[in-house]
């Protein structure tokens, strides 16, 4: 047979399985051992609570599905020079490979260079646990505030485009300060702007850090925060308020919006389902925070905390941090904040108590979003833990049954 | 100290403003306007100004440009009409061929919609959220369908994300554990049917029927537990036509089916084990087509078509297993096994932008380059279609569509390739070691499309669309049709990427990349079929190349047409945040290919005059290829505007090699005494060919 001779082409007789086995063996041979790093702490978060206050629906996108933003643990490892924070999600983290932007079809890896593009992680760190010490305001667009008991000194924002996020935050803060100054003195000079820019830059340097050393491996993302920023290695005795929002990678230039509507790289919540925003279940309130998940070990508390806001009174939902060591916090239930009789510091379980609007004669917040049975169980749990009086419990129970 | 205090005060004061003014959701009745301005700048030394895209639009003269500037304005709006009704839309002026040099129009180009600078309604929708328990929303109008599986209804961007329209209903059941999406998606008459049409004759106004052709799809997703999700999908697509046998209009006009397509799918994902994630999907497709629509054969009027010419059905599946911290910390391994049937047909599957396989696939740099290696003939429109020598820079996307679409793209965007017929596995380990991150890939791909004479008696009864007919020929290129009349092919892909963060200054992002692809195709393996394969069909009617040679039977040599292509890629890059707003990346990349595309007697099966040098459709490329690229990428952000860009300088050469079959052996020809070698593709020069290309793309984007 002429064709059998001298083709010059190698034969390909190996079966696919044999090739697979060879590849696997080669891989295992290439693996080298590495000493595990010491974990400073790990905070677990309930699985399946990636729905904010209970009413959020994922956007109409195939690349953003339930579980994608469901953080299940948050941990830290210290090493020379800084701390590696680590977040684990329920689903494998989606990579920007093969994605393009909506405007201009720019390849997403060009913008989101750190291997992820679908979420932000806010970490508000209270380093002194001194009530009233630090800031309580969250990053723009989150529509929450940090409880005064864990008011923060440092904020870390892990976002797909850290450079853009920092630049936008700077512009945003400068704009607000200019507005303030204009209101105070009627005009803003060039010198004023220079001073504001310098002060904002210093604030950003001291207060905010956007990591760009990031490692993604399936469900886990790790990011490095240097000691120069934190002032030392991460501690189990600090409080960490960790929030997950959906990332809006292209939202780079909408600075002209009103300051209170400015979103720092996060997807908003709007009624209806769209690929540009998180939707709402049923007729849920459209002013709820766009926080999809909130690291809070105790099931049910995320829903309660994120539901506790009042647009009419200008009150954001209040979220409290977690201290990995279990050190007690002095959390004031929200309803007492402007009263003369705040409760004393209490044990940790009390520290995570929900706001108690009922004590001010207003309706007790009701867990929403789950089935009636779930809601009844939740308020019973609150009663059993002494966080609701029997009277409050019965009142809420009646309301739930009546509304069912 | 004073400065620090000032800074803290600024921060606190700024935040206090935010706290004082609680943002509220959009108010009923309010119309919100938003949009973008996007400008693009192209430059290059191909000097084609067909359009403001580098792409590979398959119509000569309509695309493949590398010159000029243009600007697009897009205006979107939405309004909450009531608490239950929202409307929105988008109008846009595109720059397809609307260059700044058009000077605003008033020239002949104003008559051409591709050049006219007018605003056009690109999408409009109404969304109803009735507040019922069983339904979350109903959306009527334009949509991008991104909520569906890309194997069924994919995001098929044509020129915009939401060119497609339909009805979408979404809701929940069983206390939210089941989510469902039900849609009627209107088919595009531009491409979603045999011959890229949804009617037999679009010019026959009395009998054409396109407007009500649609895909119906139901997708249900069941969160059985927090860690187990199951999805079931059923889709039915039907293209209706006038039933010409019904000549009585008095009782209404009967219709008949031109084609229909059923897709059933079951998907699952389990993440309940810390160390392992498991996911999988199985698909069944059924496709029927009216028998009169296409005649069988390679060159009938269904040659360019995104469907087979006869009814087929098939199954496909993939299984994903991901290991976290396998054996040692920080080692993850992803495994994917896949089998996509040769007869898989899903007319509405994703055409690009959705990657269905784990493998990185072929390299886009060799995709549809068509720089006319052999003759460099500018007058030959076929050989100058496409992006030129450089091809696409990013890695490819794999789609399960014969409509894989790379139109309206630029060289910095990923190329899409069809993977119908692919079967095999990918193993992709990833390992962190200090500041190093390693990612590897090994893929082995066999093909369900490996057959002789299309699985029949002769190639002339092939039911598969040939389209360009360059599948598995030359350096790559034909991304649309996965079929070759004769094929016996395997592909192996090896890849290793290492990333290192060099902690100097703001930190340098270093990347090192190596990839090797071995493509081997024995093509005709049965000597009895050599005549059928190389009988010179289609006949050389119309051929204007006097040297065109049909090589009937190749003298019985089945090895003479064997293909062996070894692709090597080496790349190193460094990225650095030069200032807070400016990020720059420089890279060097080298690609090499050692290619044997058979002996000098071989041309692509089924290509006749189209393979000749005067037509320029296929090229003689056996030999050694090198390509070097120095690239610069940048992105710059300044309050309110974003700039980005890529500029490439490419150079390399092609050293042709000529193999011939003599005395029972395949031998390398001694070309020292000749200037050209006669082949079925023309008289090919024996000299090395030097190639160069410069190209630039920059953009400005402002959203508001």
Q: How does pLDDT run across A232-249, given as a tens digit for each residue?
A: 999 999 999 999 999 998
Q: Give yes or no for a contact between B448 and B339, defined as CB atoms under 8 angstroms apart.
A: yes
The count of C-alpha atoms lying within 13 angstroms of the C-alpha of A186, restricted to the half-sphere facing its C-beta, is 0
Interchain contact B574–A (C-beta under 8 A): no
Q: B263 near B346, Cβ under 8 Å?
A: yes
User: What is the model's pLDDT at position A393?
Assistant: 73
3-class DSSP state of A278: strand
Which pLDDT does position B392 carry in this prediction?
92
* B127 in contact with chain A, both atoms CB, cutoff 8 A: yes
Measured between beta carbons, the chain A residues lying within 8 angstroms of B6 are 195, 199, 202
- pLDDT for position A355: 33
Model confidence at A253, pLDDT cuts 50, 70, 90, reads: low
Structure confidence at residue A99 (pLDDT): 85
Closest CA to A83 of A215, A229, A243: A229
SS3 at position A391: helix
pLDDT over threshold 80, residue B217: yes
Band of residue B118 on the pLDDT scale cut at 50, 70, 90: confident
Structure confidence at residue B550 (pLDDT): 66
Query: Higher-confidence residue: A14 or A139?
Result: A139
Instruction: Report CA dihedral (A54, A59, A63, A66) to the nearest 10 degrees.
Output: 20
Distance, CA of B616 to CA of B632 (rounded, Å): 32
- pLDDT of residue B10 exceeding 50, the answer is no
Asked if A85 and A111 count as a contact pair (C-beta separation under 8 A), the reply is no
Lowest mean pLDDT among A372-376, B8-12, B122-126: B8-12
What are the tens digits of pLDDT across the range B251-268? Answer: 999 999 999 999 999 999
* Euclidean distance between CA atoms A145 and A138, whole angstroms: 5
Beta-carbon contacts below 8 Å between A and B: 317
- The pair phi, psi for residue A175, each rounded to 5°, is -65, -40
pLDDT above 80: residue B198: yes
Res A272: pLDDT:
72
Helix (H), strand (E) at residue B624: strand B623-638
Phi, psi angles (nearest 5°) of residue A224? -100, 135
Q: Which of B229, B409, B575 sits opposite A113 (nearest CB)?
A: B575
Strand order in the sheet with A71-79: A39-44, A71-79, A82-89, A220-226, A214-217
CB within 8 Å: B507 and A212: yes
Q: pLDDT tens across B516-570, in order?
A: 999 999 999 999 999 888 876 555 444 445 555 667 778 889 999 999 999 999 9
Tens digits of per-residue pLDDT, A35-88?
446 789 999 999 989 999 988 999 988 889 889 999 999 999 999 899 999 999
Mean pLDDT for A153-166 is 95
Average pLDDT over residues B200-218: 93
Q: Is B331 on the interface with A (CB under 8 A)?
A: yes
**Look-up: residue for tokens 């978060």?**
A45
Are A253 and B703 inside 8 Å of each other by CB?
yes
User: Which is nearest to B463 in space by CA: B324, B305, B329?
Assistant: B305
CA distances from B320 to A21, B180, B357, B428, B511 (A): 17, 24, 10, 11, 27
B544 interfacial to chain A (CB closer than 8 Å): no
Looking up tokens 């081997």 gives B520
Give the separation between CA B288 and CA B261, rounded to whole angstroms.
6
- Residue B117 or residue A366, greater confidence: B117
What A190-199 contacts at long range (C-beta under 8 Å, 24+ apart), as own/partner pairs, is: A195/B6, A196/B10, A197/A170, A198/B3, A199/B3, A199/B6, A199/B7, A199/B9, A199/B10
- CA–CA gap between residue B150 and residue B398 (Å, rounded): 11
Instruction: Nearest chain B residue to A253 by CA: give it.
Output: B640
- Rounded to two decimals, the pTM is 0.86
Percent of chain A residues topping a pLDDT of 90: 45
| Predicted local distance difference test score (pLDDT) of residue A11 | 42
pLDDT of residue B328: 82
Is residue B701 within 8 Å of residue B641, measured between CB atoms?
A: yes
Q: How confident is the model at residue A349 (pLDDT cuts 50, 70, 90)?
A: very low
Looking at this predicted complex, what is its ipTM?
0.87
Question: What six digits make up the tokens of B420?
Answer: 């119908």
Would you call A110 and B596 a contact, using CB atoms and an 8 Å cutoff?
A: no
Lowest mean pLDDT segment, chosen from A122-126, A383-387, B308-312, B698-702? A383-387
Q: Which of A59, A96, A391 is nearest to A246 (CA)?
A: A59
Q: What is the 3-state secondary structure (H, E, C) of B531-597?
A: HHHCCCCCCCCCCCCCCCCCCHHHHHCCCCCCEEEEEEEEEEEEEEECCCCEEEEEEEEEEEEEEEE
Q: What is the rounded distance in angstroms from the CA atom of residue B632 to the CA atom of residue B290?
A: 52
Which secondary structure element, helix H or strand E, spans residue B514, and what is its range? Answer: strand B508-521
**Chain A CB within 8 Å of residue B233 CB:** no
**pLDDT for res A352:** 33
- In angstroms and rounded to an integer, the radius of gyration of the C-alpha atoms of chain B is 27
Q: Which residues of B touch A215 (CB under 8 A)?
A: 432, 437
Residue A337 above 90 pLDDT? no
Of B136, B144, B147, Cβ closest to residue A281? B136
The continuous run of DSSP H or E covering A18 comes out as helix A16-30
> Is the pLDDT score of B649 beyond 90?
yes
Q: What pLDDT sits at residue B17?
A: 42
Rounded CA-CA distance B225/B211 in Å is 42
CA separation for the pair A323, A235 (Å, rounded): 9
Give the span between the Cα atoms of B448 and B659, in whole angstroms: 29
Annotate A259-290 with b (16+ C-beta within 10 A) or e (fewer).
bbebbbbbbbbbbbbbbbbbbbbbebebbbbb
- A145 to chain B: which residues are within 8 Å by CB? 19
pLDDT of the residue at A358: 29
More confident residue, A17 or B374: B374
Which residue of chain A comes nearest to B425, CA vs CA? A20
Best CA proximity match to A318, nearest among A304, A299, A330: A304
Q: How far is Cα B312 from Cα A339, in angstroms, rounded to an integer?
A: 75
* pLDDT in the model for residue B369: 62
Taking the CA of residue A330 and the nearest CA in chain B, the distance in Å comes to 22
Tens-place pLDDT, residues A264-300: 999 999 877 788 889 887 778 888 999 999 999 887 8
- What is the rounded distance in angstroms from the CA atom of residue A150 to the CA atom of residue A244? 18
Residues above pLDDT 70, as percent of chain B: 90
Lowest mean pLDDT among A116-130, B215-229, B466-480: B466-480
Percent of chain B with pLDDT over 90: 56
Bridge-partner residues for A64, per DSSP? Answer: none
DSSP-derived letter for residue A377 is: H
Window B:83-102, CB contacts with A under 8 Å: 83, 86
For all residues of chain A together, what is the average pLDDT?
A: 80
Range with the lowest mean pLDDT among A19-23, B253-257, B435-439?
Answer: A19-23
Q: How far apart are CA B433 and CA B674, in angstroms?
A: 56
Q: Nearest CB to A167: which of B83, B596, B637?
A: B637
Per the model's pLDDT, the better-predicted residue between B180 and A11 turns out to be B180
pLDDT of residue A112: 93
Query: With bands split at pLDDT 50, 70 and 90, how would you rate the model's confidence at A341?
Result: very low
How, if at all, do strands B563-577 and B582-597 pair?
Answer: antiparallel
Q: From the candidates A15, A87, A104, A404, which should be mutated to test the interface with B, based on the most B CB atoms within 10 A?
A: A104
Closest alpha carbon within chain A to B4: A202
Residue B420 has pLDDT above 90, yes or no: yes
Q: Can you give the pLDDT at residue B178?
A: 92
- What pLDDT is recorded for position B265? 98
Token readout for B421 is 């017929």
Report pLDDT for A381. 73
pLDDT at A378: 75
pLDDT tens string A80-138: 899 999 999 999 999 998 788 888 888 889 889 999 999 999 999 999 998 778 999 99
The predicted model gives B414-440 an average pLDDT of 93
**Disruptive mutation site among A17, A25, A105, A375 for chain B (greatest number of B CBs within 10 Å):** A105
A350 confidence band (pLDDT: 50, 70, 90): very low
Per-residue pLDDT at A334: 55
Beta strands in A160-247, from DSSP E residues, in sequence order: 208-209, 214-217, 220-226, 239-246
Q: Which of B16, B599, B639, B697 would best serve as a mutation to test chain A binding (most A beta carbons within 10 A)?
A: B639
Exposed (0-12), middle (13-18) or buried (19+): which is B253, by Cβ within 10 Å? middle
Q: How far is B2 from chain A (nearest CA, A)?
A: 10
> What's the Cα-to-Cα distance from B407 to each of A332, B57, B347, B354, B404, rounded to whole Å?
60, 5, 18, 15, 9
pLDDT at A33: 44
In the three-class reduction of DSSP (H, G, I as helix; E, B as strand; rest coil), residue A174 is classed as helix
Decide if pLDDT at B5 tops 60.
no
Contact of B151 with B263, CB cutoff 8 Å: yes
When CB atoms are compared, the residue of A98, A137, A203 closest to B19 is A137
Over the stretch B363-416, which tens digit does the pLDDT of each residue have?
999 987 667 788 777 777 676 677 889 999 988 999 999 988 888 889 998 899
Average pLDDT over residues B452-474: 87
**pLDDT for the residue numbered A294:** 95
Range name among B19-28, B86-95, B315-324, B548-557 with the lowest pLDDT average:
B19-28
Q: Do B19 and A145 touch (CB under 8 A)?
A: yes
- pLDDT, mean of residues A218-236: 94
Average pLDDT over residues B222-249: 93
Q: Which residues contact A99 (CB under 8 A, 6 or more apart)?
A: A63, A107, A108, A109, A117, B353
Q: What's the pLDDT score for residue A340?
A: 36
Which one, of B416, B200, B187, lies nearest residue B290 by Cα? B200
Give the pLDDT score at A209. 97
**pLDDT at residue B269 in the model:** 93
Which residue in the set B10, B333, B560 is minimally distant from A199, CB to CB? B10
Cα gap B466→B477, rounded to integer Å: 14
Per-residue tokens: B668: 């390398």
- A168: chain B residues, CB-CB within 8 Å: 639
Say yes or no for a CB contact (<8 Å) between A8 and B147: no
Measured between beta carbons, which residues in chain B are less than 8 angstroms from residue A7? 559, 562, 666
Residue B626 pLDDT exceeds 90? yes
User: Are A260 and B425 in contact (CB < 8 Å)?
Assistant: no
């Amino acid at each position: 047979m002429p064709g059998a001779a001298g083709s010059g082409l190698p034969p390909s007789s190996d079966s696919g399985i044999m090739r697979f086995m060879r590849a696997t063996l080669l891989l295992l041979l290439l693996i080298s051992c590495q000493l595990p790093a010491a974990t400073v702490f790990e905070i677990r978060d309930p699985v399946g609570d990636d729905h904010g206050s209970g009413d959020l629906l994922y956007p109409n996108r195939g690349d953003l599905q339930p579980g994608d933003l469901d953080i299940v643990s948050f941990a830290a490892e210290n090493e020379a020079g800084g701390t590696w924070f680590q977040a684990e999600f329920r689903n494998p983290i989606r990579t920007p490979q093969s994605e393009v932007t909506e405007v201009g079809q720019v390849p997403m890896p060009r913008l989101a260079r750190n291997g992820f593009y679908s979420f932000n992680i806010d970490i508000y760190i209270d380093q002194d646990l001194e009530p009233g010490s630090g800031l309580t305001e969250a990053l723009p667009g989150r529509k929450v505030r940090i409880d005064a008991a864990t008011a923060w000194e440092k904020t870390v924002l892990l976002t797909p485009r850290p450079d853009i996020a920092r630049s936008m935050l700077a512009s945003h803060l400068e704009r607000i300060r200019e507005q303030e100054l204009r209101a105070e003195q009627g005009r803003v000079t060039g010198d004023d702007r220079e001073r504001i820019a310098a002060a904002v830059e210093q604030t950003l340097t001291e207060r905010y850090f956007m990591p760009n050393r990031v490692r993604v491996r399936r469900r886990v993302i790790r990011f490095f925060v240097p000691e120069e920023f934190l002032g030392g290695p991460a501690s189990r005795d600090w409080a960490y308020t960790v929030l997950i929002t959906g990332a809006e990678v292209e939202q780079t230039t909408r600075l002209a919006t009103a300051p209170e509507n400015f979103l720092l790289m996060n997807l908003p919540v709007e009624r209806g389902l769209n690929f540009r925003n998180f939707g709402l279940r049923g007729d849920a309130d459209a002013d709820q925070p766009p926080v999809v998940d909130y690291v809070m070990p105790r099931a049910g508390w995320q829903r309660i905390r994120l539901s506790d806001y009042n647009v009419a009174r200008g009150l954001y939902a209040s979220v409290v941090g977690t201290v990995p060591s279990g050190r007690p916090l002095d959390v004031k239930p929200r309803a007492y904040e402007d009263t003369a009789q705040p409760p004393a510091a209490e044990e940790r379980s009390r520290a995570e108590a929900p706001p108690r609007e009922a004590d001010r004669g207003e309706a007790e917040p009701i867990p929403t979003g789950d089935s009636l049975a779930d809601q009844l169980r939740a308020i019973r749990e609150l009663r059993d833990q002494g966080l609701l009086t029997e009277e409050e419990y019965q009142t809420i129970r009646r309301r739930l049954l009546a509304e069912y | 100290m004073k400065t620090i205090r000032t800074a803290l005060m600024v921060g606190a004061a700024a935040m206090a403003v935010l706290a004082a003014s609680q943002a509220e959701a959009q108010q009923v009745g309010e119309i919100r306007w938003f949009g973008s301005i996007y400008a693009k700048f192209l430059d290059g030394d191909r000097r084609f100004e067909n359009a403001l895209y580098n792409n590979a639009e398959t119509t000569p003269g309509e695309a493949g440009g590398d010159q000029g500037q243009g600007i697009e304005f897009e205006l979107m709006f939405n309004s909450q009409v009531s608490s239950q009704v929202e409307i929105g839309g988008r109008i846009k002026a595109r720059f397809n061929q609307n260059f700044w040099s058009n000077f605003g129009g008033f020239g002949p180009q104003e008559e051409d919609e591709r050049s006219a600078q007018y605003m056009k309604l690109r999408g409009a929708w109404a969304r109803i959220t009735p507040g019922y328990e069983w339904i979350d929303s109903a959306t009527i109008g334009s949509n991008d369908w991104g909520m569906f599986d890309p194997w069924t209804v994919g995001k098929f961007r044509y020129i915009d994300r939401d060119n497609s329209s339909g009805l979408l209903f979404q809701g929940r059941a069983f206390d939210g554990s089941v989510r469902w999406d039900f849609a009627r998606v209107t088919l595009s008459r531009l491409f979603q049917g045999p011959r890229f049409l949804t009617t037999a004759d679009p010019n026959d106004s009395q009998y054409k029927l396109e407007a009500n052709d649609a895909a119906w799809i139901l997708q249900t997703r069941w969160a059985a537990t927090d860690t187990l999700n199951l999805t079931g999908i059923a889709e039915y697509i039907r293209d209706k036509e006038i039933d010409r046998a019904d000549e009585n209009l008095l009782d209404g006009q009967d219709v008949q089916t031109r084609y229909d397509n059923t897709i059933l799918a079951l998907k699952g994902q389990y993440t309940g084990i810390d160390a392992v994630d498991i996911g999988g999907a199985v698909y069944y497709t059924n496709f029927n087509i009216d028998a009169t629509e296409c005649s069988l054969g390679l060159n009938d009027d269904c040659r360019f078509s995104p469907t087979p010419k006869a009814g087929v059905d098939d199954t496909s599946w993939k299984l994903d297993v991901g290991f976290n911290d396998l054996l040692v910390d920080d080692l993850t391994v992803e495994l994917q096994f896949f089998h996509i049937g040769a007869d898989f047909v899903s007319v509405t599957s994703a055409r690009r932008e959705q990657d269905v396989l784990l493998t990185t696939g072929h390299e886009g740099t060799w995709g549809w380059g068509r720089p006319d290696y052999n003759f460099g003939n500018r007058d030959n429109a076929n050989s100058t279609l496409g992006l030129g020598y450089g091809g696409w820079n990013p890695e490819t996307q794999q789609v399960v569509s014969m409509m894989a679409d790379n139109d309206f793209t630029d060289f910095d965007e990923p190329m899409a390739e069809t993977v119908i017929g692919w079967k095999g596995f990918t193993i992709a380990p990833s390992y962190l070691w200090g500041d190093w991150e390693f990612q590897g890939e090994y893929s082995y791909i066999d093909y369900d499309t490996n057959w002789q004479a299309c699985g029949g008696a002769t190639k002339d009864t092939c039911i598969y669309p040939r389209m360009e007919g360059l599948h598995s020929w030359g350096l790559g290129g034909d991304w649309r049709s996965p079929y070759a009349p004769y094929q016996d092919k395997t592909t192996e892909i090896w890849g290793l990427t290492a990333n290192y963060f060099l902690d100097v200054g703001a930190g340098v992002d270093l990347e090192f990349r190596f990839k090797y692809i071995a493509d081997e195709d024995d093509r005709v393996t049965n000597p009895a079929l050599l005549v059928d394969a190389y009988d010179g069909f289609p006949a050389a009617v119309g051929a204007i190349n006097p040297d065109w040679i049909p090589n009937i039977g190749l003298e019985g040599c089945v090895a003479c047409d064997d293909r062996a292509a070894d692709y090597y890629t080496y790349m190193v890059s460094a990225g650095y945040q030069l200032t807070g707003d400016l990020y720059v990346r420089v890279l060097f990349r080298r690609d090499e290919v050692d290619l044997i595309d058979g002996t000098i007697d071989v041309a692509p099966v089924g290509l006749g005059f189209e393979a000749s040098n005067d037509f320029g459709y296929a090229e003689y490329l056996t030999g050694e290829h090198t390509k070097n690229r120095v690239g610069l990428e940048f992105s710059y952000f300044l309050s309110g505007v974003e700039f980005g860009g890529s500029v490439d300088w490419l150079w390399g050469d092609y050293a042709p090699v000529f193999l011939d079959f003599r005395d029972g052996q395949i031998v390398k020809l001694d070309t020292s005494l000749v200037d050209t070698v006669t082949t079925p593709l023309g008289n090919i020069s024996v000299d090395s060919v030097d190639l160069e290309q410069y190209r630039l793309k920059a953009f400005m984007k402002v959203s508001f």
